[in-house]
């Protein structure tokens, strides 16, 4: 670890965790690392982790791609909102949302009211590289992924920017991002 990397002692992490009285909700573009960082964050805090997309797939008994194909994006977003509302009822934990969840006005209002919204952000090159690792992104299936991601990023940033905490997830260890989130939450609380 270099001197400028953020780090926290176990006592500092425990003190932050003790002050968290609502779910931490990670929002941002697909490929930014919400699920990977969320799992590590929940482990560090000793709190449960939920990937909202996994919860949606379990509730629907279909994959996200199947839901999009069968019902369309509008129906998917409605179901996503209901699942996130249910997940938000837990007082503590870490929730990773789908990339479009926070763009929905009702979902965003719920997260801002009942959670600690953390916008994980990354540059376009990072998003293209990370989303290219898997072929499970329905919004990237019909066209040039770089162009689609660039357009979505520009369209969604006004919504994402409403999150009170903004963290850039750069290439490098996810632990660095976890510590940055914890420090930002500590300052925000």
Q: What is the DSSP string of 103-170?
A: GSHHHHHHHHHHSEEEEEE--HHHHHHHHTT-S--GGGSSS-HHHHHHHHHHHHHHHHTTSSEEEE--
Q: What pLDDT score does 43 carry?
A: 96
pLDDT tens-place string over residues 116-128: 999 999 998 888 8
Q: Hunting for tokens 């920017």 — which residue is that? A: 161
What confidence score (pLDDT) does residue 55 get?
93
User: Which residue would you say has higher pLDDT here, 18 or 1?
Assistant: 18
| pTM, rounded to two decimals | 0.89
The alpha carbons of the chain give a radius of gyration, in whole angstroms, of 16
> What distance in Å separates the CA atoms of residue 38 and residue 8, rounded to the nearest whole number?
17
In CATH terms, 10-188 corresponds, of 3.40.50.300, 3.40.50.10160, 3.20.20.70, 3.40.109.10, to: 3.40.50.300
pLDDT digits (tens, 9 = 90+) for 16-68: 999 999 999 999 998 898 999 999 999 999 999 999 999 999 988 998 888 88
Whether 137 has a pLDDT exceeding 70, the answer reads no
The percent of residues in the chain predicted with pLDDT above 70, rounded, is 91
Q: Average pLDDT, stretch 65-93?
A: 87
Element (H, E) at 51: strand 49-51
Contact 167, 29 (CB under 8 A): no
Distance (Å, rounded) from C-alpha 30 to C-alpha 28?
7
Confidence of residue 105 (pLDDT cuts 50, 70, 90): very high
Q: Which of 120-129, 133-142, 159-168 has the lowest mean pLDDT?
A: 133-142
Q: Round to whole Å and give the CA distance between 77 and 101.
A: 7
Give the residue from 107, 108, 133, 119 showing the smallest Cα distance to 185.
Answer: 119
């Amino acid at each position: 670890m270099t001197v400028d990397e953020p780090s926290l002692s176990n006592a500092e992490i425990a003190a932050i965790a003790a002050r968290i009285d609502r779910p931490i909700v990670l929002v941002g573009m697909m490929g930014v690392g919400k699920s990977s960082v969320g799992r590590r964050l929940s482990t560090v805090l000793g709190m449960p982790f939920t990937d909202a997309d996994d919860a949606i797939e379990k509730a629907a008994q279909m994959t996200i791609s199947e839901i999009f194909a069968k019902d369309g994006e509008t129906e998917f977003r409605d179901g996503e909102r209901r699942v996130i509302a249910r997940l938000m009822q837990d007082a503590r934990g870490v929730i990773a949302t789908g990339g479009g969840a926070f763009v929905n006005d009702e979902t965003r209002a719920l997260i801002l009211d009942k959670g600690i919204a953390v916008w994980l952000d990354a540059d376009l090159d990072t998003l293209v590289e990370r989303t290219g690792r898997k072929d499970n992104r329905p919004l990237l299936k019909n066209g040039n992924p770089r162009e689609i991601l660039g357009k979505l990023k520009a369209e969604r940033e006004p919504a994402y920017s409403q999150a009170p905490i903004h963290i850039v997830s750069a290439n490098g260890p996810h632990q660095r991002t976890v510590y940055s989130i914890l420090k930002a939450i500590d300052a925000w609380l």
